[in-house]
Amino acid sequence: MSHSLYHTLNEQLGYLTWPLFICAFIALMIILERLTLILFELPKRDPWLTQLKQNATTATPEQCKILLTQLSTGNSMLAKGSFLLLTHRDQHRQMREEIINLWLIKQQGKLQSGLKVLQVIGIITPLLGLLGTVLGLIEMFNQLGLSQAPVTPSQLASGLGLAMNTTAAGLIIAVPAITLAHLFGLWANQRCNKISHSLNLLNLWLEGFEEAMTIGQDPVAHRHILSVNHNDAIKPEGQMP
């Protein structure tokens, strides 16, 4: 089965079968790896952040210890960055910011890993396809020149069809490669911005700013959370919750 498939591809693509196949394989591996990373970075993997925003109060040593316990089992980049920030909570604010900035630069490289290679594949595969078309046309005209029989339209159609297969194969590889490279790049930038924003809020929270975790939230929802917390705090003694 595999031998017949390779034989068919070799007949359709000629000398450029292996270069195009290698490009397609590398592009597929990068795409699968990026999709796996996106699944690991889904927002639903960080429920602790939502809970912290809903119960935003001044940071205390007890709250930090509880949060560290929750983050120790987190696999997302936000959980790892927050764990790193909390472990250095005794440092000055500027020192924590420097540590997080260095960490963010490294994580941005991970989020954008392989995208340059994917873009290069998207650029060179159409050129490989065009090269295959040119080589196919040269070979077709050589065969027509050696033939003594009259040239028929069917011969031209068959030769041109074989020559164009490499261009089609190159475009089939290039279009998804370039498209997904740009989409993955946009997602990586958006994810880095969200992680940076969340870590900045967490850093302000560690500094004692009570409303740090509610910055950017809906004002109506923010007032509702504050009113609920206030009512719970002033509930008369003996009243059932």
DSSP per residue, 173-233: HHHHHHHHHHHHHHHHHHHHHHHHHHHHHHHHHHTT-TTGGGTTS-HHHHHHHHHHHHHHH
Per-residue pLDDT, 132: 84
Q: Determine the pLDDT at residue 60.
A: 79
The rounded distance, in Å, linking the Cα atoms of 140 and 154 is 13
Predicted structure pTM score: 0.76
CA dihedral over 220, 66, 60, 45, signed as positive or negative:
negative
What is the rounded CA–CA span in Å between residue 65 and residue 68?
5
pLDDT of residue 143: 73
Residue positions counted in the chain: 241
d(CA 232, CA 156): 85
Please give the pLDDT value at position 2.
Answer: 55
Q: How many CB atoms neighbour CB 126 within 10 A?
A: 19
E strand residue ranges, the chain: none
Domain boundaries, the chain: 1-226
Burial class (CB in 10 A: 0-12, 13-18, 19+), 171: middle
- The pLDDT of residue 106: 93
Alpha-carbon gap, residue 178 to 119, rounded angstroms = 5
pLDDT tens-digit profile, the chain (241 residues): 555 655 666 666 667 788 888 999 999 999 999 999 888 887 667 787 877 777 766 777 888 888 888 888 888 888 899 999 989 888 888 899 999 999 999 999 999 999 999 999 999 999 998 888 888 788 777 777 777 777 677 767 666 777 788 888 899 999 999 999 999 999 999 999 999 988 988 888 888 776 666 666 655 444 444 444 444 433 444 443 3
Q: Which two tokens stand for residue 220?
A: 């109506």
User: Dihedral through CA 68, CA 198, CA 36, CA 179, nearest 10?
Assistant: -170
